[in-house]
Amino acid sequence: MDLLLSLFNDFGGYGPILLLFLSWFLLWNNSNLFFYYTLGVFIDNITNLILKGILQQPRPNEDLKKFQLALTHGKRFIFKNGMPHDIFGMPSGHSQSSLYSTTFIYLALREKKWLYIYLLISLITMSQRVSFNYHTIIQVIAGASIGIGVGYLMYNFGREKIKGKIEEKPDDNGPI
């Protein structure tokens, strides 16, 4: 049972990274969508950091006294188990990243098999974030919603760039 719990924690924790590499693999032959997907990853992550800084909502596993003390001293990132840890939890970055990838890939490929695989990984990631008390359900839903929105916007922005501007070709043989 401990092994299953450990695998669930690891798979949920690394879900966004798995989806990132899988997305790069799937989009490799389409340089335009590959570029806009990758640009969107950065925009999605920056959006998450900005929103966490504005909302400043603690994670459910944070000690509120330590949280207030960290805010008082201007500390947003602390180290837990040797890893940098953001004390803010709203919105969930893992959920946001997972649903960003899911939305973009579904819109880019329109293949249900990839949608189901991405949704499964995203659901495991989101449930892991709540089960291990890294985020509240509201923080996960907010992150998922923002990820869907950013994925939709980035795909549509990239699709517009694919179309480009359609202009009438000048007549080669006509009188001037």
Tell me the pLDDT tens digit for each residue of 60-118. Answer: 877 777 777 777 767 766 666 666 567 777 899 999 999 999 999 999 999 999 999 99
Bridge partners, residue 77, by sequence: 86
Reply yes or no: is the peptide bond before residue 16 cis, omega within 30 of 0: no
Q: Kindly report the length of the chain.
A: 176
Instruction: Provide DSSP, the chain.
Output: -HHHHHHHHHHHHTHHHHHHHHHHHHHTT-HHHHHHHHHHHHHHHHHHHHHHHHH-PBPTTS-HHHHHHHHHTT--EEEETTEEEESB-SS-HHHHHHHHHHHHHHHHH--HHHHHHHHHHHHHHHHHHHHTTSS-HHHHHHHHHHHHHHHHHHHHHHHHHHH----PPPPSSS--
Mean pLDDT of the chain: 85
Tell me the pLDDT tens digit for each residue of 34-68. Answer: 999 999 999 999 999 899 888 888 888 777 777 77
Q: Where are the domains of the chain?
A: 23-162
**Six token digits for residue 119:** 């949704």
